[in-house]
């Protein structure tokens, strides 16, 4: 095995392991002695009407932050970009988790409310994640045009991941399925830094997946936004210009589609997607 591939594999394993251990430790600490009912501000009802904790999200942010800070092989600017993208989008997501309302939904709803002079928590999150996306992109981009494209991709991926966090394990599965090929390509092509960066959110997500599938916890906006932002950052640092434009176009198209159609209905209506979606989950409640 060429030395660059070996380093990439080693750095990826280190990033995934550090993130996984840190995330599990953070989750255990955050949930220790927490009430299991709806009296906690971090507890919500899931799609079955059962209580579950949103503290998986802060655990994701803590684990990925630790891994971004400690994983070997990351250049300083990439390390700083990962910390900014992951923690910044996670903090804004946590704000929406705690203080958000359902009066306005989606980009259109929040931006329409903003046009009327109403500043929703969702609008704060959209604008804030846009800003952190641009700032993190500026650390890894060459010139204003690249910064705009990369920043839009990071911010758009953060929002898109959250749109999938509607059923147990779904957002994490989407993250693993999209980030896995990126990680493999980074290792095979001898890009150690890209491999390390891609491995960080994947290791954290995999470590938290059992509690998500078990319907004990969910990523919430904090975790899903952070997962998407880090995968978006990994994509823009690894891909060439055509690849980055393709990713941005896909993110924009899926986000626009979510305003009109239900991802849950689309997935349920496709046998292959539904099988993946249900893998590891409790059976659906009988009608």
Write the pLDDT tens digit of every residue in 217-257.
Answer: 999 999 999 999 999 999 999 999 999 999 999 999 999 99
pTM beyond cutoff 0.75 = yes
Low-confidence stretches of the chain (pLDDT < 70) are 1, 35-39, 101-119, 121, 284-287
- Spell out the domain ranges in the chain: 3-259
Q: Do 171 and 226 meet the contact criterion of CB atoms below 8 Å apart?
A: no
Determine the pLDDT at residue 51: 86
Residue reference for tokens 């989407």: 174
Q: Two tokens at 56?
A: 């998986």
Determine the pLDDT at residue 37: 61
Which residues, listed in sequence order, are joined to residue 51 by a DSSP beta bridge? 45
Gap between the Cα atoms of 18 and 27, Å rounded? 14
Q: Do 150 and 137 meet the contact criterion of CB atoms below 8 Å apart?
A: yes
Gap between the Cα atoms of 191 and 194, Å rounded? 5
Determine the pLDDT at residue 118: 61
Determine the pLDDT at residue 272: 96
Determine the pLDDT at residue 36: 61
Determine the pLDDT at residue 46: 81
Determine the pLDDT at residue 224: 97
Determine the pLDDT at residue 109: 55
Determine the pLDDT at residue 254: 95
10 burial type by CB count under 10 A (0-12 exposed, 13-18 middle, 19+ buried): middle
Q: Do 19 and 31 meet the contact criterion of CB atoms below 8 Å apart?
A: no
Q: Do 78 and 139 meet the contact criterion of CB atoms below 8 Å apart?
A: yes
Write the pLDDT tens digit of every residue in 33-71.
Answer: 776 666 678 888 887 888 899 999 999 999 999 999 999
């Amino acid at each position: 095995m060429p030395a660059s591939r070996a380093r990439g594999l080693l750095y990826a394993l280190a990033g995934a392991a550090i993130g996984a251990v840190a995330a599990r430790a953070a989750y255990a600490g955050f949930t220790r002695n927490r009430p299991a009912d709806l009296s906690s501000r971090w507890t919500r009802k899931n799609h079955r009407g059962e209580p579950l904790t949103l503290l998986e999200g802060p655990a994701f942010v803590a684990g990925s932050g630790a891994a971004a800070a400690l994983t070997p092989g990351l250049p300083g600017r990439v390390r700083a970009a990962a910390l900014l993208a992951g923690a910044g989008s996670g903090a804004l997501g946590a704000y929406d988790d705690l203080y958000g309302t359902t009066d306005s939904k989606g980009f259109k709803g929040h931006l329409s409310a903003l046009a009327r002079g109403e500043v929703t928590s969702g609008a704060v999150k959209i604008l804030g994640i846009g800003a952190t996306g641009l700032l993190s992109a500026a650390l890894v981009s060459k010139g204003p045009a690249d910064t705009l494209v990369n920043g839009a991709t990071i911010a758009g991926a953060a929002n898109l991941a959250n749109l999938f966090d509607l059923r147990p394990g779904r957002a994490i599965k989407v993250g693993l399925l999209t980030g896995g090929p990126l990680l493999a390509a980074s290792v095979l092509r001898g890009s150690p830094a890209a491999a390390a960066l891609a491995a960080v959110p994947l290791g954290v997500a995999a470590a938290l997946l059992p509690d998500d599938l078990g319907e004990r916890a969910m990523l919430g906006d904090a975790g899903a936004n952070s997962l998407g932002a880090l995968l978006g950052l990994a994509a823009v640092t690894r891909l060439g210009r055509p690849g980055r434009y393709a990713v941005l176009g896909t993110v924009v198209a899926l986000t626009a589609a979510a305003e009109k159609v239900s991802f849950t209905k689309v997935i349920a209506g496709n046998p292959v997607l539904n099988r993946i979606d249900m893998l590891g989950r409790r059976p659906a409640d009988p009608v």
